[in-house]
Amino acid sequence: MNTIIAQLDVDSLMALGADWGVKILLALVTLIVGWKVAGWIGSLVGSRLDKHGVDATVKPFICTLLVTLVRVGVVVTAIETVGVQATSFAAIFAAAGLAVGMALSGTLQNFAGGVMLLIFRPFKVGDYIDAQGHAGVVKEIQIFQTLLLTPDNKMIHIPNGKLSNDSLINYSTMPERRVDFTFGIGYSDSIDTARSVIEKVLAEQSAIITNQEGREPFIKVGELADSSVNFTVRVWVKSEDYWDVNFTTIENVKKAFDAEGISIPFPQQDVYMHQAS
């Protein structure tokens, strides 16, 4: 009798193990296939959005959100395949809701921040911004973070929550920007000659705006410093020409000053020694 009972227990365990094994296998297949299908759906939607001319700023957010929702559904489906009912699954989540909510508070804030960025549009893909101590070109606005590409080709990940709740500088919003310079000459040099040299250098650069009211080059003596007479120079350029004009003007003014014999003072200190008798 004991042998028969033991045999029945072994058979039951084997049948139960086979049943659970099939369920677990199906759950794994569901996860693997569903995960890949979610990525494929994201790529398909992205290509369709491109064809319809959807803004490049909005597209990554939509695609990432869609992929995330599909994958969450895949995970729920896989759990149900194992045998956990949806109602039980929901009850488990409800019981742990407070703890999960507290743990994901930052993530939810980043999601809300991403939505706010898309609504108010303080910047878009392709803009050059300075935020959270980093500066670069906006590459993507995802559901939880924004990607910046720095001038030296580093990718910066900034949480959307911080971007939406803090100040930032967008250098690409306005079509024109002002470039400010300070050029110093010696006290023995001619102010009028130096001004003429600077005017000539500026006139040789076609990127500098000169024919718009309120955008004319500004060249004035701005300061009588300790060792130099400083000119304040301001010019207007298109935003994309800012850095080229900045570097080119500094170099050309130095060369022109050298050619005219105009000195550019640098800080120095005279030391007098007296011999005590």
Q: Which CATH number fits domain 176-260: 3.50.50.60, 3.30.70.100, 3.30.70.20, 3.20.20.80?
A: 3.30.70.100
Could you tell me where the beta strands, DSSP code E, fall in 120-250? 128-131, 134-141, 145-149, 155-159, 168-170, 176-185, 208-209, 218-224, 229-238
Contacts of 131 (CB under 8 A, 6+ apart): 148, 158, 162, 163, 166, 167, 168, 169
- Give the helix/strand (H/E) hosting 44: helix 2-51
Structural fold of domain 122-170 = SH3 type barrels. (2.30.30)
Q: Which CATH number fits domain 2-95: 1.10.10.60, 1.20.1090.10, 3.40.50.2300, 1.10.287.1260?
A: 1.10.287.1260
Residues paired with 176 in a beta bridge: 238
Overall pTM surpassing 0.75 (yes/no): no
d(CA 249, CA 201): 7
Say if residues 245 and 182 touch (Cβ distance below 8 Å).
Answer: no
pLDDT value of residue 240:
92
CB atoms within 10 A of CB 224: 9
Confidence of residue 258 (pLDDT cuts 50, 70, 90): very high
Q: Which of 59-73, 131-145, 241-255 has the highest mean pLDDT?
A: 241-255
The pair of three-digit structure tokens given for residue 238, joined into one six-digit string: 């298109």
pLDDT value of residue 3:
56
Residue range 147-200, pLDDT digits in tens = 999 999 999 999 999 999 999 999 999 999 999 999 999 999 999 999 999 999
Residue range 1-44, pLDDT digits in tens = 555 555 545 556 566 566 666 777 777 887 788 878 878 877 87
Confidence of residue 50 (pLDDT cuts 50, 70, 90): confident
Taking the domains of the chain in order of start, what are their residue ranges?
2-95, 122-170, 176-260
